A and B are shown apart, each in its own frame.
Chain A
């Protein structure tokens, strides 16, 4: 049986979707039996997946230039991209800042905030914020979406097992939820 390499990355998100991924529990063994081979994940601290990965899973929205770069590399190296969780699919909680201009936010957080002593906007050794937080599909093409905050383990299992079996996954009923 030919195995399929699966890599996950974590952009602007809370890691809740990775928790939900781990929450598949013993069904993870099922997936490994079906041929899943986890190559890169936040746990391995590889920022980008190895070449010729089959399935790339992206959690979180794109909020900085580094994340934009990571996501693009992900697209280059993975055959199938799955956006997982409300942040990656729609933009999620981080898009709340899209109501404001970036400069307003910097001022509020670093200059006006009472707790900040230095009154200085950090600009070295840190990735730059994008003007707007974007869902993953505004940066690269996405093949499958699993919305939900976080998506249920059932939904993730449904999509991954179908893909490993070479079938077309479809989320229906309780598996499709974004509330």
Chain B
């Protein structure tokens, strides 16, 4: 039990906590800039300055000690905060008026908070090159205040270790891979740096000028791009998806990859623009349309890009016996029992046939950061001759259990498509081989993947989600995107995830 005084009032603190977090809990606002609730505090900006027994300290990185006498808003502290902010606004280009994030910027809000009405120190002392090489991110060191949030999130949370700081003093700058353009670096485009940046240094090219965060509606959902199903926070303005952020309070704790943050939204926008070229079909509502085309000898091929409700409807229309899997699915995925939180606790990971950055990026992040920061072991075996191509295994292993032969017991088999587990649950593991296909006249293919070739020389109908023309099919129908309908699906950890529709169908 520690006894401390805050602005003359006595408090008793039991837990070990920083001064800033305690002040926040009891409702005293102290401005912060480099502090982020989900990152390790470094205390680099000093804006959260407080006075403890007459000495100035930064509250975000100071632990509470017994006998502290803290003052938070004395006139000299208010003056000190104004000068600290003047120092931060100097030297570089912190002109709010021609910045993309103006009016939606933590740094600018701090300026309003302390009442900064002019720059005391000259600007444009050191001019850095604008880095426009990245596909999704605009990177401008001239707007940087060196709070190092991006470096911390890139290493501690993402496990990518791309960003770092070089040089000293006025010429300090954030660089990717020691000084090469961001677009050519090993950046995996997860966009975490954009999300935590308090200034306009990192800017999303695909969401800039579409809506400030206070103009948008915040909707918590889950990503449908891969079977991990990370928690995401979708920002919607007038029915348009402005951007996708990761959700720090979800089970993935703020992790996200480029598929969830950028690719799905960009594809959604492209499809919306090309909608009028297709007949739009919602499997659940427009089932009569499928019924009208279907004959008695029809077969449906489905894959894991469909929601459970859609799969159920298809099996109702065609009968479970006439519904087959489009791709081969590894039946082992049904046995996945490890949860995302447990994945963090293993001592070693054995990975078969998987590039950690490309797919399932957030599982890769967990493994990479444990390997680099917590000195855990990682074994990667890239070429694997398995009976099913493209299947990926992770064997998280506990060293403690080696003697008890538990080493190989836990395994995660990563499904190829998002809802492969749902497909297995509804129709089982069965494929249409060339012998069988002769019995059917019409083939209906349901998949949100657009790179499908017409199968066999039959009447093929494709129900897909695409922004381009596909040839070879009798007719191509357009399914709604994952943002447009309600649905449930099973993620890689065998959890049933349900998502709500974000936008109305066909709203641009």
Contacts and interface: CB of A to CB of B under 8 A. Distances in A.
B321 to A, nearest CB: 63
Given A89-B117, A135-B119, A176 B124 contact: no
Contact of A147 (B103, B118, B120, B123): B118
A98 B112 CA distance: 25
Interface string A142-179: 10011101000000000000000000001110001111
Contacts of B93: 99
| Most chain B beta carbons < 10 A, residue from A91, A146, A172 | A91
Given A90-B95, A179-B108, A132 B118 contact: no
Contact of A92 (B97, B102, B127): B97
Contacts of B98: 93, 96
A91 B118 contact: no
A89 B118 contact: yes
Prevailing SS type, chain B contact patch: loop
A142 to B, nearest CB: 7
Given A95-B123, A138-B122, A86 B115 contact: no
Contacts of B122: 134, 138
A20 interface: no
B85 to A, nearest CB: 13
B97 A179 contact: yes
| Most chain A beta carbons < 10 A, residue from B95, B102, B103, B118 | B118
Interface residues of B, number: 19
Contact of A142 (B96, B118, B123): B118
Interface in A74-106: 83, 86, 89-93, 95-96, 98-99
B96 A178 contact: yes
Given A83-B118, A147-B117, A95 B96 contact: no
A170 B123 CA distance: 25
B98 to A, nearest CB: 6
B316 to A, nearest CB: 55
Interface string B420-442: 00000000000000000000000
Contacts of A66: none
A35 B338 CA distance: 78
Contacts of B103: 179
A137 interface: yes
Given A95-B95, A149-B97, A90 B124 contact: no
A99 B127 contact: yes
B124 A99 contact: yes
A31 B111 CA distance: 30
A137 B118 contact: yes
Interface string A103-145: 0000000000000000000000000000010110110001001
A178 B97 contact: yes
Interface in B94-143: 95-98, 102-103, 108, 111-112, 115, 117-120, 122-124, 127
Contact of A86 (B97, B111, B124, B127): B97
B419 to A, nearest CB: 44
Given A98-B124, A99-B127, A179-B103, A172 B115 contact: yes
A170 B120 CA distance: 18
Contacts of B102: 179
A90 B119 contact: yes
A172 B115 CA distance: 7
Given A176-B112, A179-B108, A95 B118 contact: no
Nearest to A132: B124
| Most chain B beta carbons < 10 A, residue from A89, A142, A177, A178 | A178
A95 B115 contact: no
Nearest to A147: B117
B214 to A, nearest CB: 12
A29 to B, nearest CB: 27
Contact of A179 (B96, B117, B118): B96
Contacts of A138: 122
A147 B102 CA distance: 14
Given A177-B112, A178-B97, A179-B96, A91 B123 contact: yes
Nearest to B111: A178
Contacts of B117: 89, 145-147, 171, 176
Given A176-B112, A177-B112, A179-B108, A92 B95 contact: yes
Nearest to B113: A176
Interface string B193-217: 0000000000000000000000000
| Most chain B beta carbons < 10 A, residue from A99, A137, A170 | A99
A132 B125 CA distance: 11
Contacts of A86: 95, 97
A157 B108 CA distance: 24
Contacts of A99: 93, 124, 127
16 contacts: A91-B95, A92-B95, A92-B97, A93-B97, A95-B123, A95-B124, A99-B124, A99-B127, A135-B118, A137-B118, A146-B117, A147-B117, A147-B118, A176-B115, A179-B96, A179-B102
Given A92-B97, A93-B98, 10 more contacts: A89-B118, A90-B119, A98-B127, A99-B124, A137-B118, A146-B117, A176-B115, A177-B112, A178-B96, A178-B97
Closest 7 CB pairs of A and B: A145-B117, A98-B124, A145-B118, A179-B103, A179-B102, A89-B118, A149-B97
